[in-house]
Homo-oligomer: A and B are copies of this chain.
Amino acid sequence: MSNQEALNQYDSNLFRTPDGYTSDIAVFTITSHQLAEFTPPKMTLKLMLIKRALMNAEGQTNIESGKWALPGGFVQDDESGYEAAERELVEETGVKGLHIKHFSVYDKPGRDPRGWIITNAHYAIVPEHTLSKRNASDDAAEVALFSIDEVLKLDLAFDHRDIIKDAIHKITNDLLQTTVAQNFLPKHFTYSELQALLLTVTKDSSISSDQSFARKIKTLPFIQAVAGSKTQRTSKSPAQLYEFIDVDVVKPIYTARY
């Protein structure tokens, strides 16, 4: 019997179908305060949220309006959840993500009062300068950045508190265990810039000590010096620039070596 015949017999009403399929995005950025010229930046990890508008684009009252929420929305025809995340990010915040990664699914019946609505949670990494042109639009009354400490004190829509907690945990681990850090940095960066970035998620002494870290960066197998390339943007004394080389880094917990 052919696959076609089987298809004809298939009745999609046999099983409950979801009432909606959405994608949400936890947009992280590092705000970089350069206190003065010739100093390394002070960095803070921040999450972008939108304040849900009273009315939606179609002029109807919006659900969970007035609360802070992750940007996101319904997956549309012929889109995957990932593609929807890319599109929504641009639509709702005017921002193009550098690095978008799916990290979990929230599908518990009851999580959305409108019905059985499944959401794909993604996190995105966005360089701060692209955020400067962020603007509210459509469903969003307001767009703002919150530090990790602030964000969990807000009045959050749906189950976004859970999603945000998971996103923070995930990006913290990924920053330390993978090379995603490169997406927060310019292509060429100094050791003190990478260091400032990592210090937003760890206090490990071998990272917080300038001397240790300046030495360490030269031995990391996934980072190389850019020959003859220096910058003075972090100090009067010209500093060596580095770049990531793309290798799949897996550091087993059972061994010491890379």
A→B interface (CB under 8 Å) = 1, 3, 5-7, 9-10, 12, 14-21, 54, 58, 60-65, 74-81, 102, 104-105, 107-109, 113-115, 118, 120, 173, 176-179, 198, 202, 204, 206-207, 216, 220, 222, 249-258
Q: How many copies, total?
A: 2
A3-B63, A6-B63, A21-B17 known; A256 and B253 CB under 8 Å?
Answer: no
The residue among A6, A63, A74 with the most chain B CB atoms within 10 A of its own CB is: A6
A257–B19 Cα gap in the complex (Å)? Answer: 48
Interface of chain A: mostly helix, strand, loop or mixed: loop
Contacts A10-B63, A14-B74, A206-B255 given; 20 further ones with Cβ under 8 A? A3-B113, A9-B60, A10-B60, A10-B114, A12-B19, A14-B58, A18-B21, A78-B109, A81-B107, A81-B118, A118-B118, A173-B250, A176-B252, A176-B253, A177-B177, A177-B253, A179-B253, A204-B257, A253-B258, A256-B256
Of B18, B61, B78, B251, which is within 8 A of A177 by CB? B251
Inter-chain contact B15/A74, CB cutoff 8 Å: yes
Inter-chain contact A178/B102, CB cutoff 8 Å: no
Would you give the shortest CB distance from A22 to chain B, in whole angstroms?
9
Which residues of the other chain, B, contact A177 by a CB distance below 8 angstroms?
A: 177, 250-253
Of B76, B115, B178, B222, which is within 8 A of A12 by CB? B115
A254–B199 Cα gap in the complex (Å)? Answer: 12
Would you give the shortest CB distance from A81 to chain B, in whole angstroms?
5
The residue among A60, A177, A216, A252 with the most chain B CB atoms within 10 A of its own CB is: A252
- What are 6 sample pairs from A and B whose C-beta atoms fall under 8 A apart? A1-B54, A5-B61, A10-B114, A12-B19, A15-B75, A18-B21
